[in-house]
Amino acid sequence: MTAAQAAARRRRGIALFFCALLAFASYDAFCKWMLRTHAATLMNLTRYLAVSAIALAWLLRSGMPPLRAIPCKGLLLARGTALAIVATCFMAALLWMPLAEATAIYFTAPLIMVALSPWLLGERVRPAQWVAVLAGFVGMLLIVRPGSDLPALGTLLMAVSAVCYAVFQLLTRRLAAQVEAPVLYASTALACLVLTGVPALALLPEPLPPWPELALMFAGGLCSGAAQLLLLAAFRRVAAATLAPLNYFQLLLAVLLSSFVFQRPPDAIALAGIALIMLSGGFLAWRSTLAPRRED
């Protein structure tokens, strides 16, 4: 590959990455909007029906391996369960939380990932990384400070979502070299479909929303699933260390959407906390390869 071809490949990868972040931010805003009139359980059910359809098509195209040949089934189940908890808590938290503050708390996951990595992966964390982790958590405290109008339950659910997403990414690091990408994607989609779908079927609204609204929810789920595929395509073209700091573009999008679509701009102190989380996470992504990429 010539230098010009490599540069063009890098530009395409970065463009795909930004498209993925835009799709994720758009889907989060879509969920926030739809949750005004629809149950969180139904939103998750339609989402993972759509993602599972994409996963099945990918498996059929790449060749579905026999079940006995799939390695690390226990860890795959744990990974899928962690993401199902993320989806459940994130969707429920959006019922009460402003989009910007909710996304900012969620983006503490890279910091949590660094903090957990010595115990779960045996990786060494440098002093500068610990400083960044502490700074990021100070940023989160500025967002959820006493006296703010953030609901306690929504804040707790989003914090649980961030912790579980960090665990999900740590398990991804362990499994990425052992499990083929289509199997990794499909096993997670299936686990999330089962674990979020069973409660949804038990709590289906009566009557169901009209079919155009159900189709719109399914289309939103396809947007979420397509964003995951865009991420994979971007990471095939550009090194993870290059793309990881750009993750925080999604947090900026969340602030803009919260301010101009939902009329809920963060106050000055919360904005300072969001900026501190972005700077801390960006520093960690630049200094190491620990920053996660979203795959929910």
Average pLDDT estimate for 233-262: 86
Q: Is residue 169 part of a domain?
A: yes
Please tell me the total count of domains within the chain: 1
Greatest Cα pair distance in the chain: 60
Is 96 part of a structural domain of the chain?
yes
Give residue 248's domain range.
3-287
Classify residue 54 as left (phi > 0), alpha (psi -120 to 50) or beta.
Answer: alpha
Domain assignment of residue 117, yes or no: yes
Rounded to two decimals, what is the model's pTM? 0.88
Domain-embedded: residue 281: yes
**Which amino acid makes up residue 249?**
F
| C-alpha to C-alpha distances, 14 to 5, 176, 295, nearest whole angstrom | 14, 21, 17
- Contacts (Cβ under 8 Å, ≥6 apart) of 27: 220, 223, 224, 227
Taking a C-beta distance cutoff of 8 angstroms, is the pair 24, 227 a contact? Answer: yes
Tokens coding 217: 């929810």
Kindly list the distances between the CA atom of residue 237 and the CA atoms of 77, 125, 179, 226, 234, in Å, as whole numbers in the listed order: 29, 28, 20, 17, 5
Helix 211-237, helix 181-202: angle, nearest 10? 160
Give me the chain's average pLDDT, please.
88
Residue that wins the pLDDT comparison between 68 and 257: 257
Task: Indicate the residue type of 285.
Answer: A
Virtual torsion, Cα 224, 244, 119, 101, nearest 10 deg = -60
Tokens of 127: 């002093």
Which pLDDT does position 113 carry in this prediction? 84
Tell me: the pLDDT tens digits for 72-104? 999 999 999 999 999 999 999 999 999 999 999
Rounded Cα distance between 43 and 94, Å, is 12
Residue 284: HSE in the Cβ half-sphere, 13 Å Cα cutoff: 30
Give residue-wise pLDDT tens across range 269-287.
999 999 999 999 888 877 6
Residue 133 lies in a domain: yes
On the 0-12 / 13-18 / 19+ scale of CB atoms within 10 A, 224 is buried
Other C-beta atoms closer than 10 Å to the C-beta of 230 total 20
What was the pLDDT predicted at 245? 75
Look at residue 228 and tell me if it is in a domain: yes
Whether residue 294 is contained in a domain is answered as no
In-domain check, residue 179? yes
**Whether pLDDT at 105 is above 60:** yes
